[in-house]
């Protein structure tokens, strides 16, 4: 499936996210969409920062506590330090990471994701998450040894896959080739508060279909996997770090969890 062409007149989720995190890789259409989304969902920037910290805690935990050394991160987004490979190579410099995104702007910035420690490696694949066969069959996947466990991360991207059957099919397909001990890490928008629901509606109205799931729907995405403690929770509550104590639940629009393949 070909990726979206770069059209700076149309807002894109990666650049809206970049803008709301304080980045510079965005255009007028993205900033206008972001302004409208924040009107209906003023907590979104706080929630996005909490989500980014969640990603780093999850990656650190998988590397340090579960000994995972291979990572397939899909819906990576624009480089924002620390990037996933920096976190896991901080635990073990030999860790290998394949990044996947379908935004042409992320592709142009991929260099910043390819700054692997020489002992490990990173690769970047320009692909659509829906094209599971294309991702798994790509030359970039040769970076990962299919005989050893792989962590698949879908962080803040599944809200853009609005059909549950399609989300399940993607997840099952991605996990299929990898051995027991492989993991799935997710965060996605949940309908805990009106702002998350309103934000998803505004994305949809701006041409980026998005949905806020129930926690039950998020938990169902881990079917057949063993969920690590504390299960599916608001991202600020997943093994929180000190700075998460400052985050109020009502600002957080995403839930997340980590499951292990048996
Ligand atoms: C909200 S950002 C999240 C970035 C990063 N994972 C994080 O949590 O900090 C969502 C990312 O998913 C990407 N994305 C959206 N739909 C996608 C698709 N169908 N295939 C691949 N990437 C997609 C966007 O380009 C964007 O970079």
| pLDDT (tens digit per residue) in 68-94 | 999 999 999 998 889 999 999 999 999
Q: Ligand 1: which of 6, 76, 166 to mutate, most ligand atoms within 8 Å of CB?
A: 76
pLDDT at 187 over 90: yes
Residue 188 near ligand 1, beta carbon < 6 Å: no
Percent of the chain with pLDDT over 90: 81
Percent of the chain with pLDDT over 70: 98
pLDDT at 39 over 60: yes
The better pLDDT of the pair 160, 41 is held by 160
Residue 26 near ligand 1, beta carbon < 6 Å: no
Residue identifier of the C-alpha nearest atom 24 of ligand 1: 14
Tell how far CA 155 is from the center of its chain.
2
**pLDDT at position 8, please?**
86
Mean pLDDT rounded to a whole number for the chain: 94
What lies within 8 Å, CB to CB, of 190 at 6+ separation is: 196, 212, 213, 214, 215, 218, 234, 253, 254, 255
Q: Ligand 1: which of 2, 3, 7, 13 to mutate, most ligand atoms within 8 Å of CB?
A: 13
pLDDT range class, residue 7, cuts 50, 70, 90: confident
**pLDDT at position 25, please?**
87
**pLDDT at position 1, please?**
39
Q: Tell me if 214 sits within 8 A of 191, measured CB to CB.
A: yes
Tell how far CA 173 is from the center of its chain.
17
Ligand 1 centroid distance, CA of 173 (Å): 18
Residue 101 near ligand 1, beta carbon < 6 Å: yes
Ligand 1 atom nearest the C-alpha of 161 is: 19
What is the CATH code for 13-261? 3.40.50.150
CA 235/CA 119 separation, integer angstroms: 31
pLDDT range class, residue 114, cuts 50, 70, 90: very high
What does the domain layout of the chain look like in residue ranges? 13-261
Residue identifier of the C-alpha nearest atom 4 of ligand 1: 77
pLDDT in tens, 216-237: 999 999 999 999 999 999 999 9
Ligand 1 centroid distance, CA of 206 (Å): 16
pLDDT at 207 over 90: yes
pTM recorded for the entire structure: 0.94
**In degrees to the nearest 10, what's the CA dihedral of 260, 154, 164, 238?**
60
CA 209/CA 188 separation, integer angstroms: 14
């Amino acid at each position: 499936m070909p990726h979206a062409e770069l059209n700076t007149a149309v807002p894109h989720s990666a650049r809206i996210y970049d803008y709301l995190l304080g980045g510079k890789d965005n255009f007028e259409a993205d900033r206008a969409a972001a302004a409208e989304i924040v009107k209906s969902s003023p907590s979104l920037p706080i929630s996005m920062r909490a989500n980014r910290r969640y990603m780093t805690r999850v990656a650190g935990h998988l590397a340090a506590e579960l000994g995972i050394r291979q990572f397939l991160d899909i819906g990576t987004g624009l480089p924002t330090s620390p990037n996933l490979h920096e976190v896991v190579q901080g635990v073990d410099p030999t860790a290998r990471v394949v990044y996947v995104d379908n935004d042409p702007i992320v592709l142009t910035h991929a260099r910043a994701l390819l700054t692997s420690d020489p002992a490990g490696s990173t690769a970047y694949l320009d692909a659509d998450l829906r094209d599971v066969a294309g991702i798994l069959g790509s030359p970039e996947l040769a970076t990962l040894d299919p005989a050893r466990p792989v962590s698949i991360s879908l962080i803040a991207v599944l809200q853009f896959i609005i059909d549950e059957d399609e989300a399940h099919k993607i997840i099952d397909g991605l996990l299929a080739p990898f051995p027991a001990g492989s993991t799935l890490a997710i965060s996605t928008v949940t309908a805990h508060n009106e702002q998350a629901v309103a934000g998803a509606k505004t994305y949809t109205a701006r041409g980026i279909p998005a949905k806020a799931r129930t926690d039950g729907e998020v938990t169902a995405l881990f079917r057949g996997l063993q969920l690590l403690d504390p299960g599916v929770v608001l991202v600020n509550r997943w093994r929180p770090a000190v700075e998460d104590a400052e985050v109020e639940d009502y600002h957080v629009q995403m839930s997340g969890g980590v499951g292990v393949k048996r």
